[in-house]
């Protein structure tokens, strides 16, 4: 007998997850498909994360991960940066897809966590997902949206590797030679 099945009795995986969120005092929101009552999106966060979010609403970092669960639902993670440069997870959402509607719903659930008088984030960092960037601009109209340094570096690395020949910190591109020490040393290193 599967150990997980014996612990969750006759609950589905989703109902079991929701029961654990309730049991442990998490804040969570569910959006169901109207026609089938199937969970479309699920947003959750730890109570301590809500307190931190209300104390440090300055910088949010957002990204989605794939293939993290049996149902292949993207996992949308929202991370925040404190004034002491520490990061913590603000919240998570399993979403049916990465459409504007799903991102909008998840970010609106995030806004429900704010105390009324708290500031909105000043900066939101995303990857180059244009859908997410559009939603962020609509939900946080006064926030600056910037691209994640990691994703910018990754894109530069890919371009250098595919479009250029790199030899001893000299880039040869279309017959032209040029020094790109900064990008070569930071993005095409053996440690990447």
The per-residue pLDDT for 110 is 95
Burial class (CB in 10 A: 0-12, 13-18, 19+), 12: exposed
Considering the domain architecture, whether residues 106 and 181 belong to the same structural domain is answered as: no
The per-residue pLDDT for 169 is 53
Considering the domain architecture, whether residues 67 and 103 belong to the same structural domain is answered as: yes
140 has pLDDT over 70: yes
Considering the domain architecture, whether residues 96 and 164 belong to the same structural domain is answered as: no
How many structural domains comprise the chain? Answer: 2
Residue 12 lies in a domain: yes
Considering the domain architecture, whether residues 79 and 159 belong to the same structural domain is answered as: no
The per-residue pLDDT for 67 is 74
Considering the domain architecture, whether residues 159 and 142 belong to the same structural domain is answered as: no
Q: Per-residue pLDDT averaged across 145-152, rounded? A: 65
DSSP state of 25: T
Give the count of alpha carbons within 13 A of 145, CB side only: 18
Considering the domain architecture, whether residues 102 and 28 belong to the same structural domain is answered as: yes
Residue 192 lies in a domain: no
Q: Is the dihedral of CA 113, 116, 121, 124 positive or negative?
A: positive
Cα separations (Å) of 45 from 7, 10, 59, 62? 23, 25, 17, 14
Q: Which domain holds residue 86?
A: 3-147
187 has pLDDT over 50: no
Considering the domain architecture, whether residues 90 and 161 belong to the same structural domain is answered as: no
Q: Per-residue pLDDT averaged across 80-92, rounded? A: 90
Residue 30 lies in a domain: yes
Considering the domain architecture, whether residues 162 and 182 belong to the same structural domain is answered as: yes
Taking the model in full, what pTM does it have? 0.73
**Higher-confidence residue: 154 or 26?**
26
Q: How far apart are CA 80 and CA 34, in angstroms?
A: 33
Per-residue pLDDT of 7-31, as tens digits, reads: 777 888 888 999 999 999 999 999 9
Q: Are 102 and 29 in contact (CB under 8 A)?
A: no
pLDDT band (50, 70, 90) for residue 190: very low
Considering the domain architecture, whether residues 163 and 95 belong to the same structural domain is answered as: no
Cα separations (Å) of 160 from 108, 115, 154, 157? 39, 46, 10, 5
For the chain, percent of residues with pLDDT exceeding 90? 35
Considering the domain architecture, whether residues 115 and 33 belong to the same structural domain is answered as: yes
76 has pLDDT over 50: yes
What's the angle, vertex CA 10, arms to CA 75 and CA 18, rounded to 5?
35
The per-residue pLDDT for 191 is 43
Considering the domain architecture, whether residues 143 and 156 belong to the same structural domain is answered as: no
Considering the domain architecture, whether residues 171 and 84 belong to the same structural domain is answered as: no
């Amino acid at each position: 007998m599967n150990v997980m099945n014996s612990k969750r009795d006759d609950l589905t995986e989703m109902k079991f997850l929701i029961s654990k969120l309730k049991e442990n005092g998490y804040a969570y929101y569910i959006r169901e498909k109207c026609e089938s009552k199937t969970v479309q999106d699920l947003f959750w966060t730890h109570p301590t994360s809500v307190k931190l979010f209300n104390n440090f609403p300055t910088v949010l970092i957002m990204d989605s991960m794939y293939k993290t669960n049996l149902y292949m639902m993207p996992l949308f993670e929202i991370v925040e940066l404190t004034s002491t440069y520490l990061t913590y997870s603000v919240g998570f959402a399993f979403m049916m897809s990465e459409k504007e509607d799903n991102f909008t719903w998840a970010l609106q659930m995030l806004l429900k966590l704010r105390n009324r008088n708290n500031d909105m984030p000043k900066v939101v960092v995303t990857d180059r997902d244009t859908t997410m960037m559009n939603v962020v601009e609509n939900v946080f109209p006064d926030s600056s949206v910037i691209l994640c340094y990691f994703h910018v570096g990754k894109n530069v690395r890919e371009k250098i590797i595919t479009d250029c020949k790199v030899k001893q910190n000299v880039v040869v591109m279309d017959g032209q030679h040029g020094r790109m020490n900064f990008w070569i040393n930071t993005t095409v290193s053996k440690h990447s």
